[in-house]
Amino acid sequence: MKPVSQRAASLLLMLAAFLWGGSVIAQKWGVTHFPPLRLALLRGVGATLCLLPFWWGSNDRRPFKRGELPLLFSLAFLSMIGNQLANYYGLRTIPASEAGIIMGSTPVLTALLSALFFREPLTRRRTAGCLLSFIGIVLVVARPPQAQAVASWRGDLFVCLGVLSWVSYTLLARSILKEHSSLALTMATFSIGTMLIVPLAIWETAPLQSVPPSAWGALTYLILFASVIAFFAWNIGLQAVGPTRASIFSNLIPVTALVLGVVLLSETISIKQLAGMGLILVSVWMVNRREGES
């Protein structure tokens, strides 16, 4: 599959970010009723089964080269364990808004590591866009600390680990995407990652309590929308625009989570949060705009 246009890539990256924004709420609700390892296993199995018919009917069923296998296993580990599982454990002890603040560091960290390890140009405009987006994230999700909502430092550490894992996945995945389609990479990521989680989930001793229909609905969302559609869209966009420009769209995740919180949980949006959302949208435009455009 050839890379899509810049505009189409931007739309796909936005779609992935919006779906992942909804997944923050779904993950928070999911870990309330499922043990983290069991939730990760169910999500991985479901996503793999959903992707299987699409992958089987595609034109890219070429086996990966032996030399690519270590990188594939690394990507699967970073995605399924380093990112998803770390977020699950983090969201058990900290509120989703606090996790969103930490996730706001994704594009800044991606741009810095891209410049450091891959010599990707870090222009003043992109630097300013990354910093502006981080300020916007803080304005959107930062709230005065409350005694009943004080997060555990371990939860913060888990989410930080999840961010670092996702940045590493985004940077390393582009070498695979030069030779294989985004569907092939997504299928390999979930199938290998699920196999890595199986032995861990078997050892998990946490009992599975009665699961309400809403929790199964959250799991369904995580499988179909946050896994299959979002990962596929993200990898297509990543293939077209590169990791630095792709990562800036991750700042739309907490914005989406905030909007869904208003719709689903009757929360209110302050002027400060509206201003933060505006800064994030401006930062997306700044980083995504081509050099030389006014």
Residues contacting 40, CB < 8 A, separation 6+: 80, 81, 84, 85, 88, 197, 201
Length reported for the chain:
294
Contact, 100 vs 134, CB < 8 A?
A: no
Per-residue pLDDT of 62-97, as tens digits, reads 888 888 899 999 999 999 999 999 999 988 887 776
What string of DSSP letters covers 27-76?
HHHHHHHS-HHHHHHHHHHHHHHHHHHHHHTSS--PPPPGGGHHHHHHHH
**More confident: 50 or 140:** 50
As for how many domains the chain has, the answer is 1
Residue 56 predicted with pLDDT over 90: no
pLDDT for res 80: 92
The answer to whether residue 218 sits within a structural domain is yes
Per-residue pLDDT of 243-284, as tens digits, reads 777 877 877 887 787 777 777 767 666 787 778 778 877 877
pTM of the model: 0.78
The answer to whether residue 69 sits within a structural domain is yes
The answer to whether residue 268 sits within a structural domain is yes
The answer to whether residue 293 sits within a structural domain is no
Tracing tokens 């996790």 back to the chain, one arrives at 99
Nearest to 187 by CA among 4, 63, 81: 63
The answer to whether residue 73 sits within a structural domain is yes
What value, to the nearest 5°, has the Cα angle with vertex 199 and ends 194 and 202?
110
Report d(CA 262, CA 258) in Å as an integer: 6
Report d(CA 111, CA 283) in Å as an integer: 13
The amino acid at residue 289 is R
Q: Could you tell me the residue range of the domain that residue 81 belongs to? A: 6-288
Q: Where are the alpha helices (DSSP H) in 84-212?
A: 86-91, 96-103, 106-117, 124-141, 153-177, 182-203
Assign 242 to helix, strand or coil.
Answer: coil
**More confident: 211 or 46:** 46
Q: Considering the chain, what is the average pLDDT of its residues?
A: 81
Residue 146 predicted with pLDDT over 70: no
The answer to whether residue 36 sits within a structural domain is yes
Per-residue pLDDT of 173-186, as tens digits, reads 888 888 888 888 88
The answer to whether residue 1 sits within a structural domain is no
Q: Which stretch of 50-54, 58-62, 84-88, 219-223 has the lowest confidence by average pLDDT?
A: 58-62
Report d(CA 183, CA 233) in Å as an integer: 9
What value, to the nearest 5°, has the Cα angle with vertex 100 and ends 99 and 102?
65
The answer to whether residue 124 sits within a structural domain is yes
